[in-house]
Amino acid sequence: MVRIISLPNPRLALAFVDYMATLGIVLQVRKQDQEVQILLEDESKLPEVEKQLALFLENPTHERYLAASWHTGSTNANLSYQRYSYAQRILSQAGPLTLGVMVLCIAVYLLQQIYGDQSIMEWLGWPADDAQHMQLWRWFTPALLHFSPLHILFNLLWWWYLGGPVEKRLGSGKLFTIAIVSALVSNWGQAIFSGIYFGGLSGVVYALMGYVWLTGELKPERQLSLPRGLMVFSIVWLVLGYFDVFGLAIANAAHVFGLILGLLMAFVDLRIIRHKQN
């Protein structure tokens, strides 16, 4: 029995199983914690299953999968759909590092509301002089600063949406590496173009966008993906930021540096994997 993939959504898992049944390939499902495992007994069918899985992950809501479910009916009636709250949904997709960063950002934001942005930036902002250059935390902590409810909500939703799967699939160490390196590089890039008064997790978020998107495009079996539509939206948003279309203070340089770094990190990781396989 070969494990093909684990999915957090039972309905998506069954849609793929039903579609493969229309191709004459029988798959089985097994619940494990908050996820559903898809299993294959006939290993000779593995290449075809992997090929179809890659197509499925690109667009799991395509009508052909819905049509397959209607055609085959419920082949796994004993697989119950557990109803859970939004809090459980967040916890099920996030590892300890993902949640820890979210809590830390919220705590810093609350301190900003109590003591003022300027006071907190004096402790966590980008180094303002040579003396502060030795305070090494300052090279990273601007990523924890946010200046409006929309700012922190937007960044934390993206962090959870992208960082959670990276931590679940590749481990906390990989997510930590991406986050710490992209925070440093995107902060440095923003400081060059705008000075020391900036903050936000968006440089890290754009690094995750680049990393997850390229990984999903080139190696879907790593079970990471970012829909192309969302990637296009993110790049359009980045470009619009340079034209000040919305009248918002957007850390454009951090976005660009983060995105490029995420793409480079994914490319290097995939090259290393390919080298080990050869």
Bin 24: left if φ > 0, else alpha if -120 < ψ < 50, else beta: left
Domain boundaries, the chain: 2-72, 86-277
Q: Which residues contact 196 (CB under 8 A, 6 or more apart)?
A: 125, 126, 127, 128
Paired tokens of 18? 């039903």
> How many angstroms separate the CA atoms of 141 and 184, rounded?
9
Nearest to 69 by CA among 27, 30, 16, 120: 16
CA distances from 119 to 1, 83, 115, 189, 196 (A): 59, 44, 6, 23, 14
> How many angstroms separate the CA atoms of 19 and 199, rounded?
46
pLDDT at 28: 87
- Helix (H) or strand (E) holding 43, with range, is none
CATH 1.10.1040.50 for the 86-277 domain, yes or no: no
pLDDT at 89: 67
pLDDT at 213: 95
CA distances from 233 to 23, 27, 42, 205, 240 (A): 35, 35, 41, 14, 10
> How many angstroms separate the CA atoms of 144 and 138, rounded?
10
> How many angstroms separate the CA atoms of 80 and 212, rounded?
30
pLDDT at 16: 87
86 neighbors 164 (Cβ within 8 angstroms): no
Whether pTM exceeds 0.75: no
Write out the chain's pLDDT in tens, 278 residues: 788 888 877 778 888 888 888 888 888 888 776 678 888 888 888 889 888 888 888 887 777 777 766 655 544 444 444 444 566 667 778 899 999 999 999 999 999 999 999 999 999 999 999 889 999 999 999 999 999 999 999 999 999 999 999 999 999 999 999 999 999 999 999 999 888 889 999 999 999 999 999 999 998 888 898 888 888 888 888 887 766 655 555 668 899 999 999 999 999 999 998 888 76
pLDDT at 174: 97
pLDDT at 77: 42
> In sequence order, which ranges of 7-95 are alpha helices (DSSP H)?
10-22, 46-58, 63-72, 86-93
Beta-strand (E) ranges in the chain?
A: 2-7, 27-32, 35-40
Cα 46-51-56 angle, rounded to 5 deg: 115
Secondary structure (DSSP) of 49-71: HHHHHHHHHH-TT-HHHHHHHHH
- Residues with a catalytic annotation lie at 202, 255
Nearest to 176 by CA among 267, 105, 101, 256: 101
Q: What is the dihedral of CA 140, 132, 117, 145, to 10 degrees?
A: 0
pLDDT at 81: 45
Nearest to 213 by CA among 230, 225, 221: 225
CATH architecture assigned to 2-72: 2-Layer Sandwich (3.30)
> How many angstroms separate the CA atoms of 136 and 126, rounded?
10
